[in-house]
Amino acid sequence: MKETLIVYGTRYGATPESCAVIQKILEKEHNQHVEIWDLKDYRACPDLDDFDNVIVSSGIEYGKWTENAEKFLKERNFDSKKLAVFISSYYAGEEDLYEYANENFLEKVLDKYGHVKPVKIAAFGGKIPKKELPKIADERLLGRIPEHQNDNRDWDKIEAWAHEVGKIFSKD
């Protein structure tokens, strides 16, 4: 059984919920033992030597990763690991803003760290609590968010990505 660590930084809770779905698929369908770690407790994060695979994830706000998730990418050595990376961003859940989110919030961050070579990446939608909408949503988003809809994650896309990652992680 392969050992997989999923670490995340979150803004409004979308990222750990996505991590839980990915964990379930990796464990039940791809014979992985998965540990999930909230990077709020960065110093106590498990040693990567105990894991074959790592998934790093972050919520996005104002185009920025959570501080500890980006720090994890910057400071850790993934040379002997299979690494996957995803972000949760409301922009990524909007069809016409997906490419913008993928390029600016995911690819540009990964490009900053030459030692980070993921086998799979993804930009998923996110969620924004209603009380936060006026503070953080810019004009590209505010008019699109219906009163009842503040979560634009595509669960089928997240599950499909988890299966793809599971196949890659299961190979020797």
Domain boundaries defined on the chain: 2-170
Residues 100-121: tens digit of each pLDDT: 999 999 999 999 999 999 999 9
Phi, psi of 134 (to 5 degrees): -65, -25
Per-residue model confidence as pLDDT tens digits over 57-113: 999 988 999 999 999 999 999 999 999 999 999 889 989 889 999 999 999 999 999
The position carrying tokens 């599971």 is: 166
In CATH, what class is 2-170?
alpha beta
pTM equals: 0.90
Task: Give residue for tokens 């503040």.
Answer: 150
In this model, does residue 5 exceed pLDDT 70?
yes
1 pLDDT band (50/70/90 cuts)?
Answer: confident
Could you tell me the pLDDT band of residue 133, with boundaries at 50, 70 and 90?
Answer: low
Question: pLDDT band at residue 148, thresholds of 50, 70 and 90?
Answer: very low
Average of per-residue pLDDT across 129-148: 56
What CA–CA distance (Å, rounded) separates 74 from 90?
24
Asked if residue 88 lies in contact with residue 117, where contact means CB atoms within 8 angstroms, the answer is no
Report the C-alpha gap between 30 and 34 in whole angstroms. Answer: 11
Output the pLDDT for position 140.
55
Q: Phi/psi at 41 (nearest 5 deg)?
A: -100, 60
